[in-house]
Amino acid sequence: WAKTAGKGRWALFDSERNERELTRYALSSAMPDALDRGEFCLDYQPLVSLSDGSLLGVEALVRWRHPKLGVLRPDRFIGLAEETGMIVRLGGWVLAEACRQARRWIDLSPQAPFVSVNLAVRQVRGPGLVDEVTTILERYSLPPDRLQLEITESAMMNSADESVHNLRSLADLGVRIAIDDFGTGYSNLAYLRSLPVCELKVAGSFVEGLRAPAADPASITDERILATLVSLAHTLDLTVTAEGVETAAQADRLRAIGCDAAQGWHFGQPNPASHVDALL
């Protein structure tokens, strides 16, 4: 009986796995045409100053409006795009589209936010990145400090010399460089000091601890870790943005420890560009 049950289970796992593989395959092979057909779009999520509540920037987050599967979040396809190399073309589109919007916002308002764009490892390492960014900034006459590039901590730590060279050239242009999901990898602040970074985005997992009642011991520990991180970052002239801020209480505690900016549902969901127009 056990054996049969075991066999049955294997059969189930196999077919589930096959289906997953098929979907992965179907998604990766559909991506190039999907990009040409305009199925990808960007949502923008506010980055807000904790000291005065002003809108500092917006992060561009890619979505795929798949004709059959509905709107797909990046976790479903960014990894695939990295594997196939498609990320270079997709990432190029994201960069151009975000800069086009940033230009529109400058034309709409003197308080226009900067746009923050996520870069995949392949893009940061690629030989074409600096030229690509330069060309796009020129195309939209976008001041370089209206563009921020986010690189995850783990990508940064694995980065080869070319990546560091690329980031330096971009920073020299005046583009802002941020470390995304800080705290989830193994980097240290001493190493970061040697990189042309201006901002740390602290991963939501750290901020989560601040949801518990302020008297909770675990929550107090998380708050102390964050406070230490913020003060070290400030010593290195880095600003700190907290990700995943979902409640007013979290925002208050982050403000109290001197965190500079925040992003999360409490301040705004990712939304189409027209929502940013309305904010301005």
* Residue ranges in contact with Mg ion by CB under 5 A: 118, 150, 180-181, 243
Task: Report residue 187: phi and psi, to 5°.
Answer: -75, 165
Minimal distance, residue 227 CB to ligand C2E, in Å: 21
The partner in contact with residue 62, picked from Mg ion, ligand C2E, none with C-beta cut-offs of 5 to 8 angstroms by kind, is ligand C2E
Amino acid, single-letter form, for residue 89? R
Range 122-161, binding ligand C2E (CB under 6 A): 150
Range 32-91, binding ligand C2E (CB under 6 A): 45, 61-62, 73-75, 78, 91
What kind and span of H or E run contains 177?
A: strand 176-182
For 5, the 3-state DSSP assignment is helix
244 forms part of the interface with ligand C2E (CB under 6 A): yes
The partner in contact with residue 241, picked from Mg ion, ligand C2E, none with C-beta cut-offs of 5 to 8 angstroms by kind, is none
CA 79, chain centre distance (Å): 14
Whose tokens are 């890619």? That residue is: 62
118 forms part of the interface with ligand C2E (CB under 6 A): yes
Cβ nearer to ligand C2E, comparing 79 with 174: 79
264 forms part of the interface with ligand C2E (CB under 6 A): yes
Minimal distance, residue 256 CB to ligand C2E, in Å: 19
The partner in contact with residue 265, picked from Mg ion, ligand C2E, none with C-beta cut-offs of 5 to 8 angstroms by kind, is ligand C2E
153 vs 229: CA distance, rounded Å: 15
The partner in contact with residue 45, picked from Mg ion, ligand C2E, none with C-beta cut-offs of 5 to 8 angstroms by kind, is ligand C2E
Say if residue 168 is exposed, middle or buried (CB neighbours under 10 Å; 0-12, 13-18, 19+).
Answer: middle
The partner in contact with residue 223, picked from Mg ion, ligand C2E, none with C-beta cut-offs of 5 to 8 angstroms by kind, is none
27: left (phi over 0), alpha (psi -120 to 50) or beta: alpha
DSSP state of 183: T
Cβ nearer to Mg ion, comparing 201 with 253: 201
Cα dihedral 17, 181, 116, 56 sign: positive
For the chain, report the end-to-end CA distance as a whole number of angstroms.
67
Cβ 216 vs Cβ 249: under 8 Å: no
123 vs 133: CA distance, rounded Å: 11
The partner in contact with residue 251, picked from ligand C2E, Mg ion, none with C-beta cut-offs of 5 to 8 angstroms by kind, is none
Range in contact with ligand C2E (rule: CB under 6 A) among 28-36, 126-134, 137-145, 238-246: 238-246
Cβ nearer to Mg ion, comparing 118 with 163: 118
What counts of helices (H) and strands (E) characterise the chain?
12, 9
Range in contact with ligand C2E (rule: CB under 6 A) among 19-27, 118-126, 159-167, 186-194: 118-126
Whose tokens are 């960069």? That residue is: 95
Site residues for ligand C2E per CB under 6 A: 45, 61-62, 73-75, 78, 91, 94, 118-120, 150, 180-181, 204, 243-246, 264-265, 270
